[in-house]
C-alpha cells in the first residue's frame, strides 16, 4: 500500500503522529497517583497474602524441615513446600534448574524454602519464623576466584575467533595486557516483584504479574501447576520499572501465587518487600576481564585476546545468552584484526544472575575500552585518537570476531561531531594544566563510543504479534505482546498505529498485555520492544486499512491505490469522508474490522557451535564525553560534565528516546561508581536495601549534561519508520565516565604508572587505585 | 485512653479509630483508606516513593513538611493536616507541580513519581527556588531509577512558570480546622492486637514534667522522637513495641536557645529545625547536616533521638564531640550534664539510667581562634551513611595548636575521640611533619572493621588523610573538595 502520509504538511498532520515528542500515555496518571500497579488493585474478597521463607545457607543439605507449627499459627491458611507442587518444581526459563521451593538442598542464601499464605503478610511472616530448619553445610563457592579454583563451571563455549590472535600478538610491535574487575548491579526497580493470582473455574488461574515476559509466566505457571498453557492467563498493564529484572524472575512469584490460589480457591498475592526482593532475585553478572593487545606504534590494534569470566550464580537462568552478548560486544566499535574472545561462565552458590539492561554487553565493552585506555597510556597518545584509529571502517576493516560484517558504522562521524561540540580537545589540554597545578584534586576526561547489536541473539525470539480492533465509532483498541515498564513502548506503538490509520493518537486505546489476546510472545527485552511490536501492530493496522481501502475503492468507484488516509479522513478519488464514517459504513457492509499482525526480524541467523553468523539486524550507536574530578586523599569523586550524541535512527518519539538516553546513562553511571554489591564469605548479600545499596540520586547527575539525538541518524535496514532501538545502548555511554576516572587516577601518579581501576569506582576503590599508581610510580 | 486520632485530610476532619500505634501512615493510607497513590519502595525511608506532606500549625500559619509515610507511625498525624498525591488534584485539575512533571516528561515507570510530586509540592508551598542545588537537596530523598533526574529538575523550574496555585498553608479554612484539632490534654492510645492479644500503648505528653513522670513510671517504654530509627525497628526488624512515649508534643524539647554563641538544642529539635543555627555555628556542620538523610528524614529525625539511641553511624556525634558538646540527661526533676563522648559506653550501651531521658544537647560557643572541620566519606554524597566521619576542632595560636579535639564516626563501635592523635597535635606546630605524626597515632586510637560500607584499610587510610586535608585547608589551599568543583569551561 502506498504511504503518502509521510510527505504531508504539518497543518494536516494528525495529533500524536510518529516523530512527535508525545508525552508518556500514563503521565497524567503517574503524577496524580491514579496509575494502577498490581499492589494498588482493589484487594479481592478473601485475599491471601503470601510470605516466602528463604534459605539462610549458601550450600547445604536440608536435614530437617518441620512446618507443623507454621501451619497451626494464627491467621495461616496454607503452607506450601516442594512436595505440594502438582506439576514440575521448576520456574527456570530454559534449563530446568530453578526449583520453586528447595527440594532437599539449598544453593544460595535467599532461595525459597516454602510459602505461607495468611490473612496478612505480618501473620505469614511471623508464622514462617516458627519453622524448624536444620542444615548440613557444605563449603560454598561464592566468588569468581572461588569458582575458578574449584573449577565450578556452568557452561563451556567455543571462543570467537577472527584470524590468528596468538600469532598477531607474538609478532606485534607493542603488546600490553591487563585486567579489570567489574561488579554486579541490582536492578532496583522502584516497584518490587509482585503477583496476584485469581482462581477460576476448572482450576484455571488468572495472574496479574509484574513481568516483562507474560508468556513465560504463563508457561511456568502451567508447568508448576501441571496444567496446559491454555489453563493460565497472565496479564500486566504496567510495571514500576523492569530493567531486565522482571524478565525471568517474576515467574517464581506468579507460580507461587497461582499455587496458593489453586490449592485454596482464594485469591493470593505475593508482594516482596525490598530486602527480600534484593536477596531473593538475580542481578547483573559481575565479571573479571583480561585483555592482551598487540598494537602498532600509533595504537592500531593488530591482535586482541580477551577473556571474560563471570559469576552466574547457582543456576543457568539466561547466563548463556548474557555471556554470549558479552562476547559479541568485546569489540565494541573497533576492528580487532585478529581476535580471540573467550568466555568462562562460573557456577557459584549465590543468587542466579539474570538479565539487566545491556545483557552482558556492557561488561564485554568494558574489556576493550579498558584495553584501549591502556594502549593510549602506553604510547602517550590522546585516547580519542587511539579509539578513532581503531574504528570499524568499510571496506577491509568491517569484520567482527563473530563473522558479521559491520555495514552501518557511524561511530567516526558521531565521535568527531561530539568531540567538536563538546570542545573535547581544548578541555583536555586545560585539564592537563589543572592537574599540573593541583595536588589534592585531579581531573580526567574521556570520550567513548557505543556500538550495540540489536536483535535477540537467540534468533527464534525475534518475533512479535499484535491485535488491533477498530470499533464502529472509529475508535481503536490496540494490543500487542510488548510490556510497559516505563520505557514508553505503549505510546510509541500507539503512535505507529495512529500514523497508519491517520487518526489522532487519542483515538487509540492502549491496553494491558495479556496472554489470551496475543500468544507466544517474547520478553520485552533486548531493546526490541518497539522494533518488533511496532512492526506487528503496523501489520495488523495495515490489514484492516487494506480492507477499508478496498471497501472505499469499491464504494466510491476508484482504484484501491487512489484511497488515501490522511488526518482523520479518507480520500477516495474525488470523495473525502471521515475515518469514522468509513468505518461505520464498512461495518454495515460486513467488513471485518479486527486483525492480528505478526512480524519476524529478517536477515538474522547464528551458528553457536561455530560462533559465526549474523546475530544482529543492525547496530545502534552513540558516544559520550565525561569530565570527572577525584580527591586523591579520600577517593571521593564527581562527574562534572557529560555530553552525549546518540543515534536512534529516525526517532519514533524524541522525548521518550531522550528519556531512555539520560536514564540509561545515569543507570550505567551508578553501575560503574556508587552501586556496590557486597557478599560476605558465607555468601550472604550485605547490601539489600537502599540504606546500603546506593543508586544515583538527583545530585549525582552531572551539573552539565548536554544530550542530543543525532540528527543524521537513519537506520539503513527496514526497521519501523527507520528508527533504532534505544532501551539498552545508552547505558554503556557511562563507560566514558569510568574511563575519565581512570585518567584522573593516572594523573595522580604523574603519568608514570598505568592506572588499574576496578568497577564500581567507589571512593575506596579510587583511593586504592591512586595509592597503587603512586606506589608504582615511585618504583619506576 | 482513646483509640482515635483526628487530622485534616482533603479539607475534612478525618478520624482514625482503633489505631494501632505502630501502624504506619503508609499502611493506613494504602490499606485502610485505599489511597494507593502513595507507594512503598523500601519501607525504611530511603527511596521516597511514600513521601507525603504533613502540615502543622506554627505561628498562625500551616507549615508543610515532607515525611516518609513508610516509617511514620499513624499517631503523629494527630492534630495535623495530611496531604497525599491524591489531594493535589482532588478538584480534577493538576497542580502546577504535577502539570510541570507531565510537561517535562518527568515520569517514566511512574512508581516513584507520586513521591517526587509531593517533595516538589512541599518545595512549592515553601516558596523555595528552582535552582538546581536547592532542588537536588529537596529531592535527595527521592530515588528514580528511570529518568536520570534531568526531566524532574526541569519540572522543578517549570512549575514556577505555570499559573500559580493558591498556597494551602495560608488558607483560613485549613488554619481554623487545625486550631480546632489541637489537644490540651495528652494523647493516650491503647490498642489490642486481634491476632495475638498484645496490648500496645502510646502516650504523647505535652510538658516535660509529664514526660519525666511517664518515663519514670514506664521504665521499659520506648521513647520516640522522630521515629526515623524506631520506625525501622518495626518495618524492618518486625519488633513489637508495647509501650511508646512520644516526645513529639513536649514543647520544652522543641526549642533551640542561643546564648552568647552557645547553643542548647532540645531533644525534640529536628535536623531541619537546627540546620540554620548550626550552619551559623560552623559552615561545615551545616554542610554535614545537609548530607544527613534527606529532607524527609531531617524533617522528622531529631538530633536528640540520634544521640539517645547511640547509633555508631550517626554523623552528628563526631561533629559535636569535637566541638565540645555536652548532654543534659534528666530524671524526674533532676538533671545531669556529661561530655557527649562519655554517653557512648559501648556498642548499644549508653550512659542512660532507668527513668532517665535526653533533655538537650549543649554546644559551647565557637571561639575566635577555633579552626573547625568535619568531613563525611560515603559511597554517595546524598542520603548515605558515612564510612568515615571525621571532625577536627583546633584552637590555634598562630601556627601552634593549643588544644585539639578530634572525633571519628565509623572507626569504632561508638563515636569516639582520637586521644593519641589529639596528644600528638596538642601544643605542636601545625606542619606536614606533625600531620604525619598525628596520622600514625590514629593507629593507636582505632582498629576499624570492614563492612559493606568500607574496608578497615580504607577507613584507617582515609581517616589519616583527613588530617592532611584539614592541614591543607588551614594552610589556605583552595580546591580540596570535589563538591566545590565545576567543569572545565569551554575555551
Q: Is A714 within 8 Å of chain B by CB?
A: no
A439's CB contacts (< 8 A; 6+ apart) are A632, B472, B477
The alpha-carbon radius of gyration of chain A (Å, integer) is: 27
- In chain A, the domains with their CATH numbers are 4-35+463-600 (3.30.365.10), 39-139+187-280 (3.30.365.10), 287-457+608-779 (3.30.365.10)
List, in sequence order, the alpha helices (H) in B108-149.
113-125, 132-138
Cβ-defined contact of A662 to B150 (cutoff 8 Å)? yes
Chain A residues touching B483 at Cβ < 8 A:
636, 638
Cβ-defined contact of B47 to A39 (cutoff 8 Å)? no
Q: Which of A275, A636, A659 sits opposite B108 (nearest CB)?
A: A659
Q: Is B107 within 8 Å of chain A by CB?
A: yes
Q: CATH homologous superfamily of domain B96-158?
A: [2Fe-2S]-binding domain (1.10.150.120)
B58's CB contacts (< 8 A; 6+ apart) are none
Where does residue A572 rank: exposed (0-12), middle (13-18), buried (19+ CB within 10 A)?
buried
Q: Which fold has domain B4-86+173-246?
A: Ubiquitin-like (UB roll) (3.10.20)
Q: Which of A640, A699, A707 sits opposite B487 (nearest CB)?
A: A640
Q: Are A151 and A328 in contact (CB under 8 A)?
A: no
Q: Is the peptide bond before A760 cis (omega within 30 degrees of 0)?
A: yes
The SS3 call for residue A605 is strand
Q: Tell me, what's the pLDDT at B490?
A: 63
Chain A closest CA to B332's CA: distance in Å? 37
Q: Is B386 within 8 Å of chain A by CB?
A: no
Q: Which of A20, A627, A676, A728 is catalytic?
A: A728
Q: Is B169 within 8 Å of chain A by CB?
A: no
- Taking chain A (780 residues) in runs of 10, the rounded mean pLDDT of each run is 45 91 98 98 98 98 98 97 98 98 98 98 97 98 98 97 98 98 98 98 97 98 98 98 98 98 98 98 98 98 98 98 98 98 98 98 98 97 98 96 98 98 98 96 98 96 98 98 98 98 98 98 96 98 98 95 96 95 98 98 96 98 98 98 98 98 98 98 98 98 97 97 98 98 95 93 98 89
- Are the folds of B96-158 and B370-485 the same? no
B478's CB contacts (< 8 A; 6+ apart) are none
Q: Where are the domains of chain B?
A: 4-86+173-246, 96-158, 262-363, 370-485
B237's CB contacts (< 8 A; 6+ apart) are none
Architecture of domain B370-485: 2-Layer Sandwich (3.30)
- Closest to A715 in 3D by CA, of A464, A527, A564: A527
Measured between CA atoms, the residue of chain B closest to residue A118 is B195
| CA–CA distance, A780 with B9 (Å, rounded to integer) | 70
Cβ-defined contact of A31 to B98 (cutoff 8 Å)? yes
Q: Is A695 within 8 Å of chain B by CB?
A: yes
Cβ-defined contact of B491 to A238 (cutoff 8 Å)? no
DSSP 8-state secondary structure symbol assigned to residue A698: G
Q: At A53, which helix (H) or strand (E)? A: strand A48-54
Catalytic residue list contains A779 = no
A83's CB contacts (< 8 A; 6+ apart) are none
Q: Tell me, what's the pLDDT at A9?
A: 53
Cβ-defined contact of A30 to B490 (cutoff 8 Å)? no
| CA–CA distance, A106 with A99 (Å, rounded to integer) | 10
Q: Which of B85, B105, B479 sits opposite A659 (nearest CB)?
A: B105
Chain B residues touching A274 at Cβ < 8 A:
41-44, 47
Q: Is B41 within 8 Å of chain A by CB?
A: yes
Cβ-defined contact of B380 to A75 (cutoff 8 Å)? no
Reduced 3-state DSSP string for A464-531: EEEEEEECCCCCEEEEECCCCCCCCHHHHHHHHHHHHHCCCHHHEEECCEECCCCCCCCCCCCCCHHH
Q: Is B465 within 8 Å of chain A by CB?
A: yes
Q: Which of A426, A431, A678 sits opposite B452 (nearest CB)?
A: A678
Measured between CA atoms, the residue of chain B closest to residue A28 is B102
Q: Are B201 and B242 in contact (CB under 8 A)?
A: yes
- Closest to B24 in 3D by CA, of A277, A125, B113, B16: B16
Cβ-defined contact of A439 to B469 (cutoff 8 Å)? no
| CA–CA distance, A588 with A460 (Å, rounded to integer) | 41
Q: Is A436 within 8 Å of chain B by CB?
A: no
The stretches in chain B having pLDDT less than 50 are: 491
* Strands ordered across the beta sheet of A132-137: A105-106, A60-66, A132-137
- Closest to A607 in 3D by CA, of A618, A615, A599, A617: A615
Chain A residues touching B477 at Cβ < 8 A:
439-440
Angle A457-A462-A464 from CA coordinates, rounded to 5°? 155
- Dihedral sign computed on CA atoms, order A485, A487, A488, A493: negative
| CA–CA distance, A1 with B448 (Å, rounded to integer) | 73
Chain B closest CA to A667's CA: distance in Å? 7
CB atoms within 10 A of CB A470: 28
Core vs surface per residue B75-102: b (16+ CB within 10 A) or e: bbbbbbbbbbbbbbbeeeebbbbbbbbb
Angle A394-A395-A398 from CA coordinates, rounded to 5°? 60
Q: Tell me, what's the pLDDT at A5?
A: 43
Does the domain at B262-363 match CATH 3.90.1150.10? Answer given as: no
Amino acid at each position: 500500500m502506498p504511504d503518502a502520509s509521510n510527505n504531508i504538511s504539518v497543518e494536516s498532520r494528525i495529533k500524536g503522529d510518529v516523530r512527535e515528542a508525545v508525552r508518556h500515555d500514563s503521565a497524567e496518571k503517574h503524577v496524580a497517583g491514579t496509575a494502577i500497579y498490581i499492589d494498588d488493585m482493589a484487594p479481592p474478597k478473601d485475599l491471601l497474602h503470601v510470605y516466602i521463607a528463604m534459605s539462610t545457607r549458601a550450600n547445604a543439605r536440608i536435614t530437617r524441615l518441620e512446618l507443623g507449627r507454621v501451619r497451626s499459627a494464627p491467621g495461616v491458611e496454607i503452607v506450601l513446600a516442594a512436595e505440594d507442587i502438582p506439576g514440575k518444581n521448576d520456574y527456570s526459563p530454559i534449563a530446568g534448574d530453578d526449583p520453586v521451593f528447595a527440594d532437599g538442598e539449598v544453593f544460595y542464601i535467599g532461595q525459597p524454602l516454602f510459602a505461607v499464605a495468611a490473612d496478612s503478610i505480618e501473620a505469614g511472616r511471623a508464622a514462617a519464623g516458627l519453622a524448624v530448619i536444620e542444615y548440613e553445610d557444605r563449603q560454598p563457592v561464592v566468588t569468581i576466584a572461588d569458582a575458578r579454583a574449584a573449577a565450578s563451571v556452568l557452561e563451556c563455549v567455543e571462543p570467537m575467533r577472527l584470524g590468528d590472535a596468538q600469532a598477531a600478538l607474538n609478532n606485534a610491535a607493542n603488546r600490553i595486557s591487563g585486567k579489570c574487575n567489574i561488579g554486579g548491579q541490582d536492578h532496583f526497580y522502584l516497584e518490587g516483584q509482585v503477583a496476584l493470582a485469581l482462581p477460576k473455574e476448572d482450576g484455571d488461574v488468572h495472574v496479574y504479574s509484574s513481568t516483562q515476559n507474560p508468556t513465560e509466566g504463563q508457561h511456568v505457571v502451567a508447568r508448576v501447576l501441571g496444567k496446559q498453557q491454555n489453563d493460565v492467563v497472565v496479564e500486566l498493564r504496567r510495571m514500576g520499572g523492569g530493567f531486565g529484572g522482571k524478565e525471568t524472575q517474576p515467574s517464581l512469584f506468579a507460580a507461587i501465587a497461582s499455587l496458593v490460589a489453586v490449592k485454596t480457591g482464594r485469591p493470593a498475592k505475593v508482594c516482596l518487600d525490598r530486602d527480600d526482593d534484593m536477596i531473593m532475585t538475580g542481578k547483573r553478572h559481575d565479571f573479571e576481564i583480561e585483555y592482551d593487545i598487540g598494537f602498532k606504534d600509533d595504537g592500531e590494534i593488530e591482535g586482541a585476546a580477551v577473556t571474560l569470566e563471570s559469576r552466574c550464580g547457582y543456576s543457568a537462568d539466561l547466563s548463556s545468552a548474557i555471556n554470549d552478548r558479552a562476547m559479541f560486544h568485546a569489540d565494541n566499535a573497533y576492528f580487532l584484526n585478529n581476535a580471540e574472545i573467550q568466555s568462562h561462565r562460573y557456577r557459584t552458590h549465590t543468587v542466579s544472575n539474570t538479565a539487566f539492561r545491556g545483557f552482558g554487553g556492557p561488561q564485554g565493552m568494558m574489556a576493550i575500552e579498558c584495553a584501549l585506555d591502556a594502549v593510549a597510556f602506553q604510547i602517550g597518545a590522546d585516547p580519542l585518537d587511539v579509539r578513532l584509529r581503531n574504528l570499524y571502517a568499510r571496506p577491509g576493516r568491517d569484520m567482527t570476531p563473530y563473522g558479521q560484517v559491520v555495514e552501518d558504522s557511524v561511530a567516526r562521524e558521531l565521535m568527531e561531531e561530539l568531540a567538536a561540540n563538546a570542545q573535547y580537545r581544548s578541555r583536555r589540554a586545560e585539564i592537563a594544566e589543572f592537574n599540573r597545578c593541583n595536588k589534592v584534586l585531579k581531573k580526567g576526561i574521556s570520550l567513548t563510543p557505543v556500538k550495540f547489536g540489536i536483535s535477540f541473539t537467540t534468533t527464534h525470539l525475534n518475533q512479535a504479534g499484535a491485535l488491533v480492533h477498530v470499533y464502529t465509532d472509529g475508535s481503536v483498541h490496540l494490543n500487542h505482546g510488548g510490556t510497559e515498564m516505563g520505557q514508553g513502548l505503549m505510546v510509541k506503538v500507539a503512535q505507529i498505529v495512529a500514523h497508519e490509520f491517520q487518526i489522532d493518537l487519542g483515538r487509540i486505546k492502549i491496553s494491558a498485555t495479556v496472554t489470551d489476546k496475543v500468544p507466544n510472545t517474547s520478553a520485552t527485552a533486548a531493546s526490541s520492544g518497539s522494533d518488533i511490536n511496532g512492526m506487528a501492530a503496523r501489520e495488523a493496522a495495515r490489514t484492516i486499512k487494506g480492507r477499508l481501502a478496498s471497501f472505499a475503492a469499491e464504494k466510491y468507484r476508484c482504484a484501491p491505490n487512489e484511497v488515501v488516509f490522511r488526518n482523520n479522513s479518507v480520500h477516495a478519488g474525488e470523495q473525502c469522508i471521515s475515518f469514522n464514517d468509513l468505518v461505520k459504513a464498512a461495518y454495515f457492509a460486513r467488513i471485518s474490522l479486527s486483525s492480528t499482525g505478526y512480524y519476524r526480524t529478517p536477515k538474522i541467523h547464528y551458528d553457536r557451535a561455530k560462533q559465526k553468523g549474523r546475530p544482529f539486524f543492525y547496530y545502534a550507536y552513540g558516544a559520550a564525553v565525561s569530565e570527572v574530578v577525584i580527591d586523591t586523599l579520600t577517593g571521593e569523586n564527581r562527574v562534572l560534565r557529560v555530553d552525549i550524541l546518540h543515534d536512534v535512527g529516525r526517532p519514533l518519539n524524541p522525548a521518550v528516546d531522550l528519556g531512555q538516553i539520560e536514564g540509561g546513562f545515569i543507570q550505567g553511571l551508578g553501575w560503574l561508581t556508587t552501586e556496590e554489591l557486597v557478599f560476605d564469605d558465607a555468601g550472604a548479600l550485605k547490601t539489600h536495601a537502599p540504606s546500603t545499596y546506593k543508586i544515583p540520586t538527583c545530585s549525582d547527575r552531572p551539573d552539565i549534561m548536554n544530550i542530543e539525538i543525532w540528527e543524521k541518524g537513519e537506520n539503513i535496514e527496514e526497521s519501523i519508520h527507520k528508527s533504532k532501538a534505544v532501551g539498552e545502548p545508552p547505558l554503556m555511554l557511562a563507560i566514558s565516565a569510568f574511563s575519565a576516572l581512570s585518567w584522573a587516577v593516572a594523573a595522580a601518579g604523574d603519568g608514570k604508572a598505568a592506572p588499574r581501576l576496578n568497577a564500581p569506582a567507589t571512593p575506596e576503590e579510587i583511593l586504592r587505585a591512586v595509592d597503587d599508581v603512586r606506589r608504582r610510580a615511585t618504583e619506576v | 485512653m482513646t483509640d482515635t486520632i483526628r487530622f485534616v485530610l482533603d479539607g475534612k476532619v478525618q478520624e482514625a479509630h482503633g489505631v494501632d500505634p505502630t501502624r504506619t501512615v503508609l499502611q493506613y493510607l494504602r490499606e485502610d483508606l485505599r489511597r494507593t497513590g502513595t507507594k512503598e519502595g523500601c519501607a525504611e525511608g530511603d527511596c521516597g516513593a511514600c513521601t507525603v506532606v504533613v502540615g502543622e500549625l506554627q505561628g498562625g500559619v500551616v507549615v508543610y513538611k515532607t515525611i516518609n509515610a513508610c516509617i511514620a507511625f499513624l499517631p503523629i498525624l494527630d492534630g495535623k493536616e495530611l496531604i497525599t498525591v491524591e489531594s493535589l488534584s482532588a478538584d480534577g485539575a493538576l497542580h502546577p507541580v504535577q502539570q510541570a512533571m507531565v510537561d517535562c516528561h518527568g515520569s517514566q515507570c511512574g512508581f516513584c513519581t507520586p513521591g517526587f510530586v509531593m517533595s516538589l509540592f512541599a518545595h512549592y508551598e515553601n516558596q523555595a527556588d528552582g535552582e538546581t542545588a536547592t532542588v537536588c537537596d529537596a529531592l535527595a530523598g527521592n530515588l528514580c531509577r528511570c529518568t536520570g533526574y534531568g526531566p524532574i529538575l526541569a519540572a522543578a523550574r517549570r512549575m514556577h512558570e505555570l499559573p500559580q496555585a493558591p498556597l494551602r498553608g495560608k488558607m483560613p479554612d485549613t488554619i481554623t480546622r487545625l486550631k480546632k484539632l489541637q489537644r490540651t490534654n495528652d494523647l493516650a492510645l491503647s490498642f489490642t492486637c486481634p491476632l495475638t492479644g498484645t496490648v500496645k500503648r502510646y502516650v504523647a505528653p505535652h510538658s516535660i514534667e509529664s514526660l519525666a513522670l511517664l518515663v519514670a513510671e514506664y521504665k521499659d517504654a520506648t521513647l520516640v522522637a522522630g521515629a526515623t530509627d524506631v520506625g525501622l525497628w518495626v518495618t524492618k526488624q518486625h519488633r513489637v513495641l508495647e509501650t511508646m512515649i512520644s516526645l513529639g508534643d513536649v514543647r520544652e524539647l522543641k526549642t533551640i536557645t542561643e546564648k552568647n554563641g552557645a547553643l542548647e538544642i532540645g531533644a525534640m529539635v529536628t535536623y531541619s529545625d537546627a540546620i540554620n543555627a548550626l550552619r551559623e555555628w560552623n559552615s561545615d556542620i551545616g554542610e554535614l547536616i545537609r548530607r544527613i538523610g534527606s529532607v524527609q528524614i531531617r524533617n522528622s529525625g531529631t538530633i536528640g533521638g540520634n544521640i539517645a539511641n547511640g547509633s555508631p553511624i550517626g554523623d552528628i556525634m563526631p561533629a559535636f564531640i569535637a566541638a565540645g558538646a555536652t548532654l543534659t540527661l534528666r530524671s524526674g526533676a533532676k538533671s545531669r550534664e556529661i561530655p557527649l563522648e562519655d554517653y557512648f559506653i559501648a556498642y548499644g550501651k549508653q550512659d542512660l539510667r532507668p527513668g532517665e531521658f535526653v533533655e538537650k544537647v549543649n554546644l559551647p560557643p565557637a571561639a575566635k581562634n577555633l579552626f573547625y572541620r568535619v568531613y563525611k566519606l560515603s559511597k554517595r554524597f546524598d542520603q548515605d551513611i558515612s564510612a568515615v566521619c571525621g571532625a577536627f576542632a583546633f584552637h590555634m595560636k598562630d601556627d601552634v595548636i593549643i588544644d585539639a579535639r578530634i572525633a571519628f564516626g565509623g572507626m569504632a563501635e561508638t563515636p569516639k575521640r582520637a586521644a593519641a592523635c589529639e596528644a600528638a597535635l596538642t601544643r605542636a606546630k601545625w606542619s606536614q611533619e606533625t600531620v604525619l605524626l598525628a596520622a600514625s597515632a590514629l593507629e593507636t586510637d582505632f582498629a576499624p572493621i570492614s563492612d559493606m560500607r568500607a574496608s578497615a584499610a580504607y577507613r584507617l587510610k582515609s581517616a589519616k588523610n583527613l588530617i592532611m586535608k584539614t592541614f591543607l585547608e588551614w594552610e589556605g589551599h583552595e580546591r580540596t573538595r570535589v563538591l566545590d568543583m565545576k567543569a572545565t569551561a569551554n575555551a
